Structure 1
Amino acid sequence: MCHSTDSRPPAPPVQGEVASHEQIELTAADGNRFLAYRAEPAEPNGRCVVILPDVRGLHPFYRDLAVRFAEAGFPTIAIDYFGRTADGGERDDDFDFMTHVNQLTPEGIRADVRAATEELSDRGPVFTVGFCMGGSQSWRQAAEGNGLAGGIGFYGALRFIDPPQDGPGAPLLLLRGGADTVSTPEEFEAYEATLDRVGTEHETHVYEGAPHSFFDRSYGEWAEACQDAWKRILSFTERHAQPR
C-alpha cells in the first residue's frame, strides 16, 4: 500500500481558497453507485481533475489531495473503486482492500472514471491523476481516450493494466521514483515502446533515488521532488487543456 493513515499530500506551489469539499455518491452508466470526494476551488483555472487512488480506494490521503488540487484551481473528484463489492465505510488501515481489488474489472473502472469525468466535463477539460494502481489506471484511461484531455500517473504499477492496442488517445505524463521497485525500468521501457508504436504522446520524468510514494509531505527529503512534480502537473494540464 502507498500511504499510511497519517500521510498527507504536499501543497501546490500556489494555494488559493477552496469554496467547498465534501463526500458525494456518483452513479456509473451500469448502475453502480460509488463513493467519491469532491473539492471546489473559489477561483477555477478552467481545468478539472479526477483522482484515481492506490489499491485502498478513497483513503484519507486522497480526500486531502482533492482539496490540494482545488487549492491549485482544479474542480476535483477523487473516486473509490469498490462500489460493486464493498459498503460505504471508511477506507482506513482496517479495510480489507485486496479482497475487493481482486474483483475489479477494466470495464468497471472505466465506467466509474467516466461517471466522474462527466460530472466535471461542463467545467473544462478533465485530466486523470493516479497513484500506484491508480497511476497505471490513469495512463490506461487516457490512452484509450475516454473523453479525457490527458492522464498523469505517479509510480504506476504496470501489472494492473494491459498495454494499449491502438492510439493515439490522450497525452500521458509518467512521474516515477528512481528507487521504486513496483514496476521495473525494463517494464517501463517496454510500455513506452508500445506508446510510441500506437502514437500516444507521452513524457516521463524519473526522480533519481526517490522511493515509491515519495509524493508525501512527511518525506521531507523529497520536498523538492514534490514541488517539481506539482509544477510538471500544472504545466502539462495547461499545455493539453483540450479534450481528445
Structure 2
Amino acid sequence: MCHSTDSRPPAPPVRGEVASHRQIELSAADGNRLLAYRAEPAEPNGRGMVILPDVRGLHPYYRDLAVRFAEAGFRTIAIDYFGRTEGLGGRGDDFDFMTHVKQVTTDGVRADVKAATDSLSAHGPVFTVGFCMGGAHSWRQAAEGNGLAGGIGFYGALRAIEPPATGPGAPLLLLRAGADTVSTPEDFAAYEAALEEVGTPYESHVYEGAPHSFFDRSYAQWAEACRDAWQRMLSFTERHA
C-alpha cells in the first residue's frame, strides 16, 4: 500500500521559480466536481503534467509534488479521485481513503483526468504521471490515447487496470521498484507483452532493491534512484513533446 505521513517530494534537478500554486475545483464531463491542485511555473517548458496520486487522493504530498514539477517548468495539476463518493473535503492523514478507493472506476478516472488535461492542453503537450494505483491509471490513460503525449507511472498497481486491447497508444514510461510486491515481475511481463501486441511504445526501468513507494515514503534512502527517475521523466517528456 502506498502510504506515508512524513515525506516531501524530491526536488527536480534544476529548481526554477513558481508563479503560483493553489487548490482549485474541476468539473468533469459527467458532472463530477473534484478537488485539484494547480501549480504554474514562472518559466514554462511548454509541457503540461497531470499527477494521478496513490490511494490517498489529493494528499498534501501531491500538492507539494505539483509545486516540484512547476519548479521544473511544467504547468501541473494534481487531481483527487473521490469527488463522487466524498465530495470536496480534505485529504489529510486521517482520511479513510480505502473506503473510497473501492468505489473508484476507470470511467471516473478517465473523466477526471480529461478535466485536468483539457485545462492544460492549450499550452502544449500534456503528460500524466502516477503512483501505485495512480501509476497504473496513468499508463492506462496514455495507452488509450486520450489526447496525451505520454504516460509515466511509478510502481503501478496493475490489478487496478485491464491490459490494453487496442492500440497503439501514446508512449509509456514504466518506473518500477525492484523489491515491489504490489505488482510482480510476472505481472509486468504480461502487461508489457500486451503493450507489444497492440503496438504501444514503452520504456521500462527497474530500480533494483528499491521498495514500493520509494519515491515518496523512503526517498531519502533512495535519493540516487529518485534523481535518476527525475532525469528519465524529463528526457521522456522532452522526446515525446
Normalised-by-shorter TM-score class: over 0.9
Deviations 1:77-135 (A, max 9, x none): 00000111103222122111111111111111100000100000011100000000000
Question: Normalising by structure 2, what TM-score?
Answer: 0.98
Q: Is this contact kept in 2: 1:10–1:217, CA < 8 A?
A: no
- Within 1, Cα distance between the matches of 2:104 and 2:217? 30
Q: Considering only aligned residues, what root-mean-square deviation do their CA atoms show, in Å?
A: 1.0
1:5 Cα shift? 2.4
Q: 1:218 to 1:159 in 2, by over 3 A?
A: closer
SS at match of 2:49: strand
1:235 Cα shift? 0.2
1:67 aligns to 2:37 (yes or no): no
1:233 maps to what in 2? 233
1:8 maps to what in 2? 8
Q: What's the % identity of the aligned pairs?
A: 82
1:192 Cα shift? 0.1
- Within 2, Cα distance between the matches of 1:98 and 1:3? 11
Aligned residues: 241
Please give the residue correspondences for 1:132-171 in structure 2 after superposition, counting only pairs within 5 Å. 132-171=132-171
* Unmatched runs of 5 consecutive residues or more in structure 1: none
SS at match of 1:69: helix
- Within 2, Cα distance between the matches of 1:24 and 1:220? 30
- Within 1, Cα distance between the matches of 2:137 and 2:177? 17
Deviations 1:138-161 (A, max 9, x none): 000000000100000000000000
More displaced 10-residue stretch of structure 1: 61-70 or 103-112: 103-112
- Within 1, Cα distance between the matches of 2:220 and 2:77? 27
2:17 maps to what in 1? 17
Please give the residue correspondences for 1:13-92 in structure 2 after superposition, counting only pairs within 5 Å. 13-92=13-92
Q: Is this contact kept in 2: 1:126–1:149, CA < 8 A?
A: yes
The letter for the 2-side match of 1:174 is L
1:170 Cα shift? 0.2
1:75 Cα shift? 0.3
The letter for the 2-side match of 1:181 is T
More displaced 10-residue stretch of structure 1: 212-221 or 76-85: 212-221
The letter for the 2-side match of 1:175 is L
Q: Is this contact kept in 2: 1:216–1:226, CA < 8 A?
A: no
Question: Normalising by structure 1, what TM-score?
Answer: 0.97
- Within 2, Cα distance between the matches of 1:122 and 1:160? 30
- Within 1, Cα distance between the matches of 2:150 and 2:35? 23
1:206 maps to what in 2? 206
1:217 Cα shift? 7.8
- Within 2, Cα distance between the matches of 1:221 and 1:88? 34
SS at match of 1:84: helix
